[in-house]
Amino acid sequence: MEALHQPQDVIGDRYRILEVLGQGGIGTTYKATDLQTQQQVALKALSLRRITDWKVLELFEREARVLSYLQHSAIPRYLNYFQVDTPENRWFYLVQELAEGRSLAQWVKEGWRIGEAEAKQLAIQVLEVLSYLHSLTPPVIHRDIKPQNILRRSDGQIFLVDFGAVQDTYRDTLTQGSTVVGTYGYMAPEQFRGKAVLATDLYGLGATLLFLLTHQSPADLPQRRLKIDIRACTQLSPSFADWLDQMLEPAMEDRFPSAKEALAALQAPPRHQVELANSEFQIDRQPAGSRIQLKRTAQEVLVDIPPQRFLSRNLGLFGFALVWNGFIFFWTSSAIAMGAPIFFPLFSIPFWMAGLTLLGHALAPITIQTYVEINRHRFRLQQQCLGWRYRQVEGNTEDLEAIQWFDSQMRINDQPVYTCALIEGVRTHQFGSALTHTEQKWLAQELSSFLAKVRSPKA
């Protein structure tokens, strides 16, 4: 489309056009010089003659009004809004500070790649801006968070631009549709119904981060159950993958309610989950002396965890269980011998159950054998006690969200009990609590690696 103005044109006797910064369906943003201050500015121009819907002008004026009261270091400051009349046309102009840097889309086009740590830092910066916007009265919803609207300087500082997003969404959806690259990938589902809430901006940020990590439009990434399958296209730590998963929930009520909550969740250290992606937890080979038998092929992984040694940490629990059960036996037998009413012996049943449970935990390491089998389609976790199968869970491998090592929240002698677990939706299948921490880390790492490999698009 032909530009509205040419370099060296002077607008409103004050702004000299230098070059075109960006061009949309009905308007153009220029880099210009303010002849009064000699400051370089961004000047956004709209031509009345080119407007095909009065809604466009309303949204352009709304953008200027919103920008006039925003004050944040990562949002280019509003400077001026004016109109110029000519015999043939009426022109509307919005003037802002000129933000340094290039858009994230430009950075990626030039070959820029980021890892998880840098993605988190960028997310934190954007969420801080969104937290400010969402805290205003009324809240300001940007509505068009995408790589083209986030500028980045070479030192990593970001700027959020283009608060005419409602206008752009309206135009792209109704007139240009799928020809606009990436539009559908970054818009939250509720925007197609004409609705936007605070969580709408979070979806756009999540999609932007996914684009930076994969260099693919989110609209082109694999989906599972109408949702982008993050783990099929990225190699992320479980906690960051879970966080990004929630940012990209199709149902807005399943996302974080606002940027403040999303930021708090991103910055909070994992309380019970240990990050396997952390370099200090990477174990190159099976720990010396480990009796775990692991067989892995391209199609499946089989794990046999035989009964383990009696650990010293279980000795105290075993002794306490013996004393507890001995006391309950003495109390119950005495009550029966003295001819006490029947409810006295029955009253001891809960205490017997507690005592037997304690004894079971103490003897579990030397009596329980565990089998784990995972292939491309199914998984199975089976446990036997002295040859008797007492637990088995099965399911679809595609339903496994992660395989983790974490604090089970149990305590023995005031010490935390760590375990491995298969995470299947809201269900957690724990196993391997009798293993050493090094064995648990190694095993969870091996199973996670296999799961990631079979889900890879190239597998």
pLDDT band per the 50, 70, 90 thresholds, residue 97: very high
SS3 117: helix
- Please report, rounded to a whole number, the percentage of residues in the chain having pLDDT higher than 90: 37
Q: Do 216 and 159 belong to one domain?
A: yes
Task: From 403, 436, 438, select the one nearest 284 (Cα to Cα).
Answer: 438
> Do 67 and 114 fall into the same domain?
no
Q: Out of 64, 97, 130, pick the residue that ends a domain.
A: 97
Q: Write out pLDDT tens, residues 340-364.
A: 676 666 666 777 676 666 556 555 6
Please report the pLDDT score of residue 43 as a whole number. 94
Domain that holds residue 164: 102-267
Report the pLDDT value the prediction gives residue 398, as an integer from 0 to 100: 87
pLDDT of residue 26: 52
Q: Is the pLDDT reported for residue 407 higher than 60?
A: yes
In a shared domain, residues 115 and 165: yes
**Would residue 403 count as lying in a domain?**
yes
pLDDT for position 283: 63
pTM above 0.85, yes or no: no
- Asked if 442 and 295 touch (Cβ cutoff 8 Å), the reply is no
> Residue 272 falls within a domain, yes or no?
no
Residue 352 lies in a domain: yes
What own/partner pairs with CB < 8 Å and gap ≥ 24 does 433-439 have? 433/364, 433/408, 434/308, 434/311, 434/364, 434/365, 434/368, 435/290, 435/292, 435/305, 435/308, 436/287, 436/290, 438/283, 438/287, 439/287, 439/290, 439/292
Reported in sequence order, the residue ranges of 48-172 that DSSP labels E, i.e. its strands, are 78-85, 90-97, 102-103, 150-152, 158-160
Check the CA dihedral 97-98-101-104 and report its sign. Answer: positive
Residues 357, 419, single domain; the answer is no
CATH of the domain at 419: 2.30.29
For residue 80, give the CATH number of its domain: 3.30.200.20
User: CB of 213 within 8 A of CB of 131?
Assistant: no
Contact 165, 173 (CB under 8 A): no
For 419-458, the pLDDT digits (tens) are 899 988 778 899 988 788 888 888 998 998 888 887 765 5
Q: Are residues 295 and 433 in the same domain?
A: yes
In a domain, 304, yes or no: yes
pLDDT for the residue 53: 67
Q: Are 73 and 182 in the same domain?
A: no
- What are the tens digits of pLDDT across the range 264-312? 999 876 543 434 434 344 566 788 888 899 998 878 999 999 886 555 5
Question: Is residue 81 domain-shared with residue 129, that is, in the same domain?
Answer: no
> Do 68 and 193 fall into the same domain?
no
Do 228 and 240 share a domain, yes or no?
yes
Beta bridge partners of 43: 30, 95
Domain-located, residue 287: yes
Q: Per the domain annotation, does 215 fall within a domain? A: yes
Q: Which amino acid is at 251?
A: A
Q: How many CB atoms lie within 10 A of CB 291?
A: 13
Q: Confidence band (pLDDT; 50, 70, 90) for 60?
A: confident
Domain count within the chain = 4
List active site positions: 144
Digit-coded pLDDT (tens) for 183-223: 578 999 988 888 889 999 999 999 999 999 999 999 889 88
Does 398 lie in the same domain as 341? Answer: no
In this structure, are 223 and 246 located in the same domain? yes
Residues 141 and 253 in one domain: yes
Alpha-carbon torsion, ordered 44, 45, 51, 55, to 10 deg: 40
Residue 5 lies in a domain: no
